[in-house]
Amino acid sequence: MRLTRMADDIPTARVDAVDIIQAAGGSRSEARVFSKLFGIEHVAALPRTDSLLNTFLSLLDRLDVSADETPIDTLIYVHALPIQPIEGEGLTTALIRRHPALTQVKHRYEIDQHNCGGGFWGLKMLQSLFRAGLSQRALLVLGDSLSTFALGERYIPGCTILGDGFVVMLLDNQDDGIQLTPPFIEHRAEFWPGLFVESQQKSAFYAEHNAMMDHALKEIEFSFQTHDTLLPHNINRLTWLNFTRLHPEFEARIDTRLLPEVGHCCAADPFLLLSRRLENSQPLSKRCGLLSIGAGAFIGACSVLPDPQRIAG
């Protein structure tokens, strides 16, 4: 499927990792050790005065969809956390009512049961709709905000700290321009409880994490002969250190630059990285890979293919 435009928003406000861990009941020494080991110093946080709805409306404005274009007929909202801030009517309803680019939406969906892998389930749904001729153009909206919840809710001990980040993507079924390959998705059902398990079960999930990443990358035929970089879920620094010990060739090719100051933005991570990469004035010269392993072992990945015309130009 073709990616025609995308936009992202990482809030400028930051919350110190030490403050978050202390708010969750941890000690200052625990917080310092966690921050150093897992590579998260601050996280991005949407100000309480800024609503999730207005954030996405602003991103839609930045897409600059004109009345002369093929209308958007499908809206999919992906968030990793099932519980979202209460802002009156549902987000998809409000977006359709408030934004002129969405007045012709016929199908709307919300994906919130696949944790940090949800973005790829959204892409898979779009692929099915496009192939069935049920959609011509779609908007994929991704992002979670924890700003209305208690500060300590951002902390997942021994794993990560959650930040806020938001992405909108305009996609269709045309075969020119920047292309997303058919997404690979898989669920390892033995890990279905996610993070809400005993430590032994959680350790088993972490022990399988590298194998799940290897499998996903194999499924999308990821290779540094054809791909330039990997844009992953920024779960924590330690995860990627362990992975690169097994695969040293990845050390300079995994983009984790947002992690220290932004934190783990759940389902949005790889798409935030892609958006920032596409903002570069230099066009993509090689494929890049997108990858997420959500809690509960919801695995998703795809490749992004550069626009041949831009490279040739």
Dist CA 246 CA 155 (whole Å): 28
Can you give the pLDDT at residue 207?
85
- The reply to whether 208 falls in a domain is yes
How many domains does the chain divide into? 1
**How confident is the model at residue 119, as a pLDDT?**
98
pLDDT at 313: 39
SS (H, E, C) 182-250: CCEEEECHHHCCCCCCCHHHHHHHHHHHHHHHHHHHHHCCCCCCCEEEEEECCCCHHHHHHHHHHCHHH
* Residue 298 falls inside a structural domain: yes
> Is 163 part of a structural domain of the chain?
no
- What pLDDT was estimated at residue 311? 44
Residue range 67-84, pLDDT digits in tens: 889 999 999 999 998 877
273 occurs within a structural domain:
yes
- The DSSP H or E segment spanning 29 is helix 28-38
* pLDDT for position 67: 85
* Residue 188 · residue 297 · CB < 8 Å: yes
Torsion of CA 269, 140, 78, 162, to 10 degrees: 20
pLDDT at 204: 83
CATH number where 196 lies: 3.40.47.10
Query: Can you tell me whether residue 111 is helix, strand or coil?
Result: strand
Asked if residue 156 is part of any domain, the answer here is no
The residue segments making up the domain with residue 225 are 178-312
Ranges in the chain, pLDDT < 50: 311-313
- Sequence-separated (6 or more) residues with CB below 8 Å from residue 186: 215, 216, 219, 299, 300
User: Is 60 among the domain residues?
Assistant: no
pLDDT at 82: 82
pLDDT tens per residue, range 251-283: 999 999 999 999 999 999 999 999 999 987 566
The answer to whether residue 265 sits within a structural domain is yes
